[in-house]
Amino acid sequence: MRNALIFLVLALAGTAMAADTGLQVEIQSPSAGFTVEDGTTSVEVEGIASAIGGVRYLDIMFVVDTSSSLRRSDPSDYRAQGAIGLVQNLSPKSDIKIGVVSFDSKSQIAQSMTSDREAVMETLRLLPRSGSTNIAAGITSALAELERNGRPGSSKVIMLFTDGMSNKNKAYDAAVEATKRGIPIQTLMLGQDTKGGKTMDTIAWATGGTFIPVSDPSKLPEAFLNLRTTGVDSVTLSVNGSEPVPARLAGGTFAGSVPVAIGENRIVAFATSLDGDTQESEILVNVRDTSCAALEVLARKDGQPALSLSDRAVEVVVDASQSMWGQIEGRSKMEIAKTTLEEVTYWLPDDMELALRAYGNTSAPKQNNCTDSALLVPFRDNNRDYIRQAIAGLRPTGQTPIAYALNQVARDFEASQSDRIVVLVTDGIESCGGDPVTAAYALQQQGIVVHVIGFGLGSAADEDASSLQAIAAASGGRYVTAGSAEELKSALAETVATSFSVYRGSTEVASGSLGSAGIMLLPEGDYRVQLHSNPPVEALVSLAPRDGVTLTLEKSNGEISPFEQRDQLPYTSCGNGR
């Protein structure tokens, strides 16, 4: 054995030992300058580290003993499981070609070098177990395959597995040839044969590889993963100078997950070879903050919260037809409407002009009175108590003459110069043959907007909703549905207040009403907020990711000025909507 060792040392000294390019490491994924977004908190880093060649490519040859002795030494074929496990753990994004040589008394190419890892694993799974052991033949075939299909500049390595003795002199000759070509042989032996172990250890030492002996076949999967295929002992990963964390090593590739933060992240892979050399590779990964911003639009008039910045006259037109006796959760719709309308009169701003009209509340159904509509309380100062009294006296009895009621509305406003709004609260459609859409359009031509609240529509919701929507659309108003007391209260708050739209460029991206819009989630950008008042009021606002902006439009001494209050929010996906 000593003579063999001396022979090998002399042979190595007289040949071009490995094409020693020094330790190299390269992060191959993600690519430099890679940008991630949408709240990403970590990225998977993959690459190749090698002390035996280049890191752009990795060419691996499995040289696997298929002799009959494996039936006894490894009856469960952990040999195949281990080799397959190594292939599965290779970095999926690294450029790797793999071939398989099987050998017993002779050798053959079981799988030519390929990038198809599934094909390689299937070949390893089907390797036979018969014949004797000829390590030299296996190494020679692997070298020939690497010569034919290996890539220039790649790290080339042979993974040699056996469970028994072979002609050591021929094996040494093959190892010398591998050394001349700069190809290390990583050796793994199953069993406790001393002479065989020394032969495998010598082959690894002579070629710059490592040797792992395994006595228990069930430990083979772990042993395959522990082979330092390309002469690299460890790779650690760090971000922006953080404490390094170990990466997973498999067959010359490494992989690991690192945390990233918004902004620029300098990721460093630090490799250490078996000889103690060190080298690093770094990339920059940018995390783009795509968090939404939050926008809330409010108004104040002379220091007080306001639902409108202009003078506003609102006439509520209430359906008091017989159908309002219908029930919602054990209460009549009329009762719910009366209670809710009374509450609303208390919290509406004192400077908002208010009037009340009803229809269907005086005539019995059999009278078919299609002119049953009256202005119960006209616009005038200090009329809220009168309105509450009128609401309390409503009794649902008659028809639903919506068109007739709307045709009377224009004269209710008289010569008011305020923004003129009608809020129609109804549980059904026209029942007198009138055309409420034409009536609403006529009001629009006079500068009067009709908002419609469909309340408790029940089983006819789809058909009725379409008809009621058309009324609102004809006057430039909005259609809102309500199926409960709370929803009716919200609908009234939304329709009596000044509405607004939020535009990005010329596209409307959000809308609401002062005092009831809540918070709108929007992506970063420049926006224009427009109040639908007379005259219109506009304000510009720029939103950055995580901005929480309250835009307050303040009217004081007749002048309107925008004010912003900004806070920082946690990450919020724009997918949540408003």
Predicted local distance difference test score (pLDDT) of residue 255 = 93
Q: Is residue 303 part of a domain?
A: no
- The predicted pLDDT at position 38 comes to 65
Q: At what angle do helices 402-412 and 436-445 cross, to 10 degrees?
A: 20
For all residues of the chain together, what is the average pLDDT?
Answer: 87
Shared-domain flag, residues 439 and 356: yes
pLDDT of residue 462: 66
Q: Do both 490 and 432 map to the same domain?
A: yes
472 and 558 assigned to the same domain: no
In whole angstroms, what is the distance from residue 260 CA to residue 36 CA?
10
| Residue that finishes a domain, picked among 175, 206, 226 | 226
In a domain, residue 458? The reply is yes
Residues 475 and 409 both lie in one domain: yes
Confidence of residue 5 (pLDDT cuts 50, 70, 90): very low
Residue-level pLDDT at 13: 42
Here the CATH number for the domain that contains residue 194 is 3.40.50.410
Determine, yes or no, domain membership for 545: yes
Domain assignment present for residue 431? The answer is yes
End position of a domain, from candidates 181, 196, 226: 226
The arithmetic mean of pLDDT across residues 121-149, rounded, is: 93
Predicted local confidence at residue 2, as pLDDT:
40
Tell me: do 116 and 222 sit in the same domain.
yes
- Paired residues of 259 in beta bridges: 42
Same domain, 395 and 437: yes
Has residue 187 got a pLDDT over 50? yes
DSSP result, 504-554: ETTEEEEEEETTT---EEE-SEEEEEEE-SSS-EEEEEEE-TTEEEEEEEE
Say if residue 15's pLDDT is above 70.
Answer: no
State whether 480 and 568 are in the same domain: no
Would you say 191 and 164 are in contact if contact means Cβ atoms under 8 Å apart? Answer: yes
Query: Does pLDDT of 576 surpass 80?
Result: no
Residue range 247-281, pLDDT digits in tens: 998 888 899 999 998 889 999 999 998 888 999 99
> Does a structural domain hold residue 550?
yes
CB contact set of 398 (below 8 Å; sequence gap of 6+)? 320, 321, 322, 359, 360, 361, 362, 363, 364, 365, 367, 369, 372
Q: Are residues 77 and 205 in the same domain?
A: yes
CB-based contacts of 315: which residues, under 8 Å, 6+ apart?
Answer: 354, 355, 356, 357, 379, 409, 412, 413, 420, 421, 422, 423
Claim to verify: residue 196 and residue 215 sit in the same structural domain: yes
Instruction: Give φ, ψ of 270 to 5 degrees.
Output: -110, 115
Same domain, yes or no, for 444 and 514? Answer: no
What are the tokens at 488?
């009716």
Q: Which residues span the domain enclosing 549? A: 501-576
Q: Cα 186 from chain centroid?
A: 43
In a domain, 283, yes or no: no
Q: What is the mean pLDDT of residues 368-372?
A: 90
Residue 42 lies in a domain: no
Q: Residues 463, 507: one domain?
A: no
Number of domains in the chain: 3
- pTM of the predicted model as reported, rounded to 2 decimal places: 0.55
- Residue 351 resides in a domain: yes
**Do residues 466 and 437 touch, judged by C-beta distance below 8 A?**
no
Domain edge (last residue) among 438, 470, 497: 497
399, pLDDT greater than 60: yes
Same domain, 76 and 111: yes
